[in-house]
A and B are shown apart, each in its own frame.
Chain A
Amino acid sequence: MSAIGIVGTGSYVPENVISNEEIAAGAGVTADWIRDKTGIGQRHRAADHEATSDLAAEAARRALRQAGLSADQLAFVVVATSTPDHPQPATASIVQHLIGAGRAAAFDVNAVCSGFLYGLTVGAQLLRAGTEPSARYGLVVGADIYSRILDYSDRRTAVLFGDGAGAVVLGPVPTGLGVIETALVGHGDQHRLIGVPAGGSRAPASQRTLAAGEHFFRMEGRAVREFVQEALPKAVSSLLDRAGMPADQVQHFVPHQANGVMLNEVWPDLGLPNASLHLTVDQHANTGAASVAVTLDTVHRQGALGRATWCCWPASAAG
């Protein structure tokens, strides 16, 4: 008997690095203010010719290479993103084509910054369900290009985000390992804390919405911070209870990289005495749905995780 776990990781961030100094003045702040408030030192920005699918495909190729698999062995491609190439078709369809996963089903998941973990849960369950006897492997990618929807004069958002993609290949692992427990939680009553107001069915793109800047990402930063500080410890505690796992057994903690200062503040409240907190936010900023997967791949390739590891990945996000 086998469980379902991760058999390959990969990530890709664009070559173009943007320093705090380059965006500080436009947002009406200083480079030191950005670092002091967020822990971010730089971020990567996609080139003009790159779309979300391009970043996702490169991360996927790297994950497949590590797993020693070819794309035609994939049963599905799930792309978690809130900055798709287009409203339609699904970005996953384009990624499927780019990597040559001709046998794979393909669909997007939009759960904003928590999307990768929503996709991971769906992907693991699809493999466990075993509806296709030949379906052994699947791909889950988190990818976002927030630089395309940021108002660079808005200090609440302009300084926080970077572009990137992270991927995992899911497949069979020894019983008792792999994806042990997942928890998906929704707080739809708080959905107005973030968003892109225009471009959907509520407010289709128009000259008016463009002039009003409603195509930009907006966030109520203080309220989001308070939400995370309250929700994250509860989510971790609930997850450990469901898994029947003592908190002191968790060795690694790979959170969504929302804000380094905020994560360091909330870290002591999580009650994980033997776990390492892994942050890449100083180098990559908040890469949206990509951030957990990018961080996982980064620290894994640095050799920081090793064998027989118990990881906990919480993502608090907005949608």
Chain B
Amino acid sequence: MLLAGFGGGMNIGAALLRWALDRPTEPLGIPAFQADDPAAEHLASWGLLSAATLH
């Protein structure tokens, strides 16, 4: 499926969301992030759970 948006910065978030969620989520196989900043190293050790409820 091809989704195409045209126009000056039109909001295609909803279409992209559907597209993104329908995609398979295979890992990329790319190297893990390495940062010099110790604070950023902490970030890479986080496990994150996210729930968003919209009404």
A residues neighboring B (CB under 8 Å):
1-9, 66-68, 78, 88-90, 92-93, 106-112, 114, 117-118, 120-122, 125-131, 136, 171-191, 193, 227, 231-232, 235-236, 238-240, 243, 245, 250, 300-301, 305-319
Contacts and interface: CB of A to CB of B under 8 A. Distances in A.
Contacts of A66: 37, 39-40, 43
B27 A178 contact: no
Contact of A307 (B32, B37, B45, B51): B45
A6 B46 contact: yes
A68 B35 contact: yes
Contact of B39 (A186, A190, A300, A318): A300
A94 to B, nearest CB: 8
A28 B12 CA distance: 41
B28 A127 contact: yes
Interface in B8-28: 8-13, 16-17, 20-21, 23-28
Nearest to A178: B48
Contacts of A250: 49
Contacts of A118: 13, 17, 52, 54
Nearest to B13: A109
Contacts of A136: 28, 30
List 10 A-B pairs, minimum CB-CB distance, nearest first: A89-B9, A117-B52, A190-B55, A90-B9, A93-B9, A187-B55, A114-B52, A125-B20, A109-B13, A129-B23
A66 B38 CA distance: 9
Say what secondary structure dominates the interface of chain A: mixed
Interface of B: 7-13, 16-17, 20-21, 23-33, 35-37, 39-55
B29 A108 contact: no
Which residue among B13, B45, B51 has the maximum number of chain A CB atoms within 10 Å of its CB?
A: B51
Given A108-B11, A129-B25, A313 B43 contact: no
A111 B52 contact: yes
A154 B55 CA distance: 22
B54 A239 contact: no
B36 to A, nearest CB: 6
Nearest to A224: B55
B30 A319 contact: no
Nearest to A4: B28
Given A2-B30, A300-B42, A313 B51 contact: yes
B55 A188 contact: yes
B30 A178 contact: no
Contacts of B47: 176-178, 180, 309-311
B14 to A, nearest CB: 8
A191 B7 CA distance: 28
Contact of A172 (B10, B33, B51): B33
B50 A181 contact: yes
A317 B53 contact: yes
B5 to A, nearest CB: 8
A10 B47 CA distance: 18
Contact of B54 (A106, A128, A301, A317): A317
Nearest to B20: A125
Given A88-B9, A110-B13, A136-B30, A318 B45 contact: no
B52 A107 contact: no
Contacts of A6: 43, 46, 48
A236 B51 contact: yes
B54 A173 contact: no
Contacts of A231: 53, 55
Contact of A174 (B32, B40, B53): B32
